[in-house]
Amino acid sequence: MSKTTASDPAPSAAEDRELGAAGSQLSTAPKEDAPNLPALGVIGWIRWFWRQLTSMRVALLLLLLLSLGAIPGSLIPQSGQDETKVADFRKAHPALSDVYDKLGMFHVYSSVWFSAIYILLFVSLIGCIVPRTWQFVGQLRGLPPGAPRRLNRLPAHTTWRTTAEPEQVHRAALALLKKRRFRTHLTGDAVAAEKGYLRETGNLVFHIALIVMLTAFAWGQLYKSEGNKLVVEGNGFSNTLTQYDDFKSGNLFTSDDLVPFSFNLKKFTGTYERTGPNKGTPRVYQADITYSAGAYGKDENDTVEVNHPLEIGDSKVYLVSHGYAPVITVRDAKGKVVFDDAVPLLPLDANVTSSGVVKVLDGYRNAQGKKEQLGFNAFFVPTFGGSASGTMLSQFPALDSPLLALSAYHGDLGADSGIPQSVYQMDRTNMKEFKDSKGKLFKKLLKPGETMKLPNGAGSVTFGKDIREWAGFQVVQQPGSGWALAGALAAIGGLAASLFIQRRRVWVRAVRDADGVTVVEMAGLGRSESAKVPEELGHLAGDLYEQAPGAPGPDDPADSPDPDQEPGTETPVPAEGAEK
């Protein structure tokens, strides 16, 4: 076997066109013609704008702009995520906030400019995919192009002489290439074959997956809902708007879209690492619940853990936080119980040092029989380090040595003003401090089971031995998340196929020379420069050589190629008749 290396004369224009046709349509990228500016009218400008919008460079530019546009949404507080942080930012930066309001920086993802980029990218992808798809379908229905006249001008080629008949070589080449999963057909004196269509398939799948992801993202943002609820052990929750502590949703979401269900928190279990560098790290963190789906659903038991939500229809219930709810009992001056409930306190650190307030709104009368309201600032530590620690901070998140600090107030909490209040904060505008014997704010440290007597016989407060735990749940309903995941996986697969699969063509020509010996020429052409095409052509030529072994050259009958030698590795010798 010998590889043709003889210098070729300068190629003619016709031969250049022939080689260009041989390598054409290895890609489904749309052809861009330069606009004919003198002939542009309204229709011409519209066509030009459409071509620019659906070009790859504009699509990449829009993707870049979309990525840059998402940066402010992650750095600036967003009104749809945390209104409190937005209010704090406005208070701290009033002048800058006015600029941000005009630019839509507090609601980036629903702003006009971000939506415009999003929609333009969507249109660009669709306008790019549709013609490429039809073009690719046409290529699948067509046949590989015929062989160029001079195969030795292609980047990878080889030739040898054989005693086999040209028809025999053609049949062997067709069978071999079909076995290697090439699309083949016989055209004239050559076999044409093509392979690697999955590259373009992967390219199209990648772009279609992007559209699926964009559609799923938009659908999820418009119809999503997300709410948080704190539930104390023994209490429950029903999936209605009035039950949420805070709730936000997409622009097209309505209360009718809420999935009907309810659940009760039976018990929260939390265990923690006792020793070592991970001391205090949760080991078991789960909530045992009883839930029912629908208005008349049957009660079922389940356990909600971190990253293992409860799924009911399109809703997912996540366990997101945990804390303690001491049971507080308040009695008035006559010993009547006016408040007896578990009061959830909010954690301040990893060891669940917690704070909150206790509000007694109704039923309390002081020593003079006058109606008043009581308020207590509460500070709780599940594991008190003792007075020797010098700090009122918890040393461990478990209930090893619980201690409750209370400071007392009386007066008007402002709950009847109609202005919403936080259950974890107390408005002391119209409240007075209870004073101790030294004239200072009356406060006391209580252990479970202990009682604090209010000054002047105003009543008492008991810290119950039963310390309950609470769990914070996040209920998320976001349609389209499954489609988004499928689109992401398809995009990864399509991108991998378009990067690692190469589309290539192979031609095998067998013609009878003037001396009656068959000359076999093989050549390969890939979409891009790659060592895979010559390597694959060498393997194909080796397999075909076994079925059409070489014949001695006309000038040196003893010069027959070694059948065990890999094609293309022997000393190059021009084959007679290969240039014909």
pLDDT at residue 3 above 50?
no
Q: Are 122 and 129 in contact (CB under 8 A)?
A: no
Short-list 410, 429, 408, 409, CA closest to 419: 429
Each residue of 478-489: pLDDT tens digit? 888 889 999 999
Average pLDDT, the chain: 85
| Interval 460-485 mean pLDDT | 92
The model carries a pTM of 0.67
Paired tokens of 311 = 């799924």
CB 404 within 8 A of CB 367: no
| Per-residue three-class SS string for 147-188 | CCCCHHHCCEEEEEEECCCHHHHHHHHHHHHHHCCCEEEEEC
Min mean pLDDT across 131-145, 284-298, 334-348, 395-409 is at 131-145
**What pLDDT is attached to residue 498?**
86
Dihedral over alpha carbons 564, 566, 571, 575 (to 10 degrees): 90
Q: How confident is the model at residue 22 (pLDDT cuts 50, 70, 90)?
A: low
pLDDT tens, position by position, 264-274: 999 999 999 99
Two tokens, residue 421: 């209040």
pLDDT of residue 218: 84
Q: Which residue has the higher pLDDT, 415 or 540?
A: 540
The predicted model gives 101-105 an average pLDDT of 90
Q: Hey, what's the torsion of the CAs at 456, 462, 463, 465, to 10 degrees?
A: 150
In the prediction, which pLDDT does 44 show? Answer: 80
Q: What average pLDDT score do residues 424-428 get? A: 88
pLDDT for 343 equals 95
Q: Please write down the long-range contacts of 356-360, taking CB distance under 8 Å and 24 or more positions apart.
A: 356/380, 356/423, 356/424, 357/423, 357/424, 357/425, 357/426, 358/328, 358/330, 358/406, 358/461, 359/413, 359/415, 359/423, 359/426, 360/330
pLDDT at 8 over 70: no
Q: What local confidence, expressed as pLDDT, does residue 155 receive?
A: 86
Choose the weakest-confidence range: 141-150, 333-342, 562-571: 562-571
CA angle 516, 517, 519 (to 5 degrees): 130
Beta bridge partners of 443: 407
Q: What angle do CA 523, 525, 530 make, to 5 degrees?
A: 115
pLDDT at 524: 92
pLDDT at 289 over 60: yes
Tokens standing for residue 528: 């891009």
Q: How far apart are CA 299 and CA 304, in angstroms?
A: 15
Q: What is the pLDDT of residue 11?
A: 55
Higher pLDDT, 417 or 222: 222
Report how far residue 109's alpha carbon sits from residue 165's, in angstroms, rounded to the nearest whole number: 70
d(CA 45, CA 37): 9
d(CA 236, CA 229): 10
Among 17-21, 62-66, 339-343, 497-501, the range scoring the smallest mean pLDDT is 17-21
**Mean pLDDT throughout 38-57?**
79
Reply yes or no on whether the pLDDT at 160 is more than 70: yes
pLDDT in tens, 203-251: 889 989 988 988 898 888 888 899 999 999 999 999 999 999 988 888 8
What's the pLDDT band for 563 if we cut at 50, 70, 90? very low
